[in-house]
Amino acid sequence: MKNTHEVTLFVLIGLTLLTAAAANLIGEKATYLPLIIMGIAAIKFLLVAFQFMELKEAHRFWKILTTIVGVSLAFIIGILA
């Protein structure tokens, strides 16, 4: 169990570095940059929710609701930014 937490932590760190690299390489002129950044943020949110908050053991309703709300919120913020 400890090993999966470490793997998830390294994936989260890698996604954070990927976000920083995308912001620096693509630049501020790209119109799709907020969608990319918010997409990566949604993936990080789901990883934290399911791995560290133990949502993977929750009822199916809460899993589906958390996924829908998290991804929808990230998409809306990415569109409006």
Compute the distance between CA of residue 38 and CA of residue 33 in angstroms, rounded to an integer. 9
2 φψ region: left (φ > 0), alpha (ψ -120 to 50), beta (else): alpha
pTM for this predicted structure: 0.87
For the chain, 81 residues long, give each residue's pLDDT as a single digit of tens: 568 889 999 999 999 999 999 888 887 777 889 999 999 999 999 999 999 888 889 999 999 999 999 999 999 999 997
